[in-house]
């Protein structure tokens, strides 16, 4: 009798593992998503000038989101100019040490934060574009997007001051390494994009001298990735439907 009970319990556990909790969306193990699924909402996105099907990156994989949820979350926008900003690697910015003497003028930068905001950055293409000519086609996420910390200044002393004076820690992150795939129908075309979640600190850098006091000040800012608990970059994945 005990063996029968143990067998039934084992069967129940296996069933729960396979079929249980279907409302969580597409778990990490379910990496191929059929875009014809009724749970997947598709709508026109003005930013990308295309119809998209968005998914939230979570610790459990991709979860489809509604138009309302997506537009509410991405309502806060930021005009990024990443090509003209200075990207910094994860290594610490090492500053030379000085011993202060009466006849030596030591100059240092201090940063005072005025605001800290969270926003979703510009979409990053993470797959090739494909046009489906067979009954159905699979589009795979091919590349990891790197969301680097970046600054409006490039001097290591100024960057170090921003890192110290900001209200959060600056970090870089990569998007998920999982091979997410999307299935589209014949005649459809498009690609996969990743829209990273970021922080931005805006404030004032002021330079001081041990001999002359305050010398100058200027506006400055820094951007940072926001990470999931897994250490991967937080954000939205979208399949972007392009015109046929």
pLDDT value of position 160: 96
pLDDT value of position 99: 52
What is the arithmetic mean of pLDDT over 161-179?
92
Using CA atoms, how far apart are residues 199 and 163, in angstroms rounded to an integer?
A: 13
Q: E strands of 46-148, at which residues?
A: 50-58, 61-64, 86-88, 107-120, 124-125, 130-131, 136-140, 146-147
pLDDT tens for 197-235 read 999 999 999 999 988 888 999 999 999 999 999 899 999
The chain-wide mean pLDDT, for the chain, equals 83
Q: E strands of 6-71, at which residues?
A: 32-34, 43-45, 50-58, 61-64
Neighbours of 213 (CB within 10 A): 7
Residue 100 in tokens: 């202060």
Domain boundaries in the chain? 24-76+105-241
pLDDT tens for 13-39 read 444 444 444 334 443 344 788 999 888
User: Is pLDDT larger for residue 243 or for residue 63?
Assistant: 63
Number of H helices, E strands in the chain: 3, 16
pLDDT tens for 69-112 read 999 999 877 878 777 788 876 544 444 444 555 567 788 999 99
């Amino acid at each position: 009798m005990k063996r029968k009970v143990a067998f039934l319990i084992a069967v129940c556990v296996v069933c729960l593992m396979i079929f249980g909790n279907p409302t969580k969306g597409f778990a990490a193990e379910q990496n191929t998503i059929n875009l014809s699924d009724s749970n997947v909402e598709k709508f026109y996105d003005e930013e990308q000038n295309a119809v998209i099907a968005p998914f939230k990156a979570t610790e459990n994989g991709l979860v489809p989101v509604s138009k309302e949820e997506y537009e509410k979350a991405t309502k806060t926008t930021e005009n990024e100019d990443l090509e003209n900003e200075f990207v910094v690697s994860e290594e610490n910015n090492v500053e030379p040490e000085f011993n202060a003497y009466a006849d030596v003028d030591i100059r240092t930068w201090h940063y005072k934060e005025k605001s800290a905001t969270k926003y979703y950055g510009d979409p990053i293409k993470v797959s090739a574009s494909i046009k489906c000519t067979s009954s159905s086609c699979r589009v795979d996420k091919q590349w990891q997007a790197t969301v680097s910390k970046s600054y409006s200044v490039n001097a290591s002393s100024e960057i170090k001051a921003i890192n110290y004076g900001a209200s959060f820690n600056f970090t870089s992150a990569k998007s998920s390494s999982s091979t997410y795939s999307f299935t589209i129908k014949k005649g459809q075309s498009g690609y996969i994009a990743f829209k990273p979640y970021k922080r931005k600190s805006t404030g004032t850098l002021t330079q001081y001298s041990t001999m002359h006091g305050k010398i100058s000040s200027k506006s400055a800012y820094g951007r940072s990735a926001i990470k999931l608990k897994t250490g991967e970059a937080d954000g939205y994945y979208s399949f972007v439907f392009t015109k046929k």
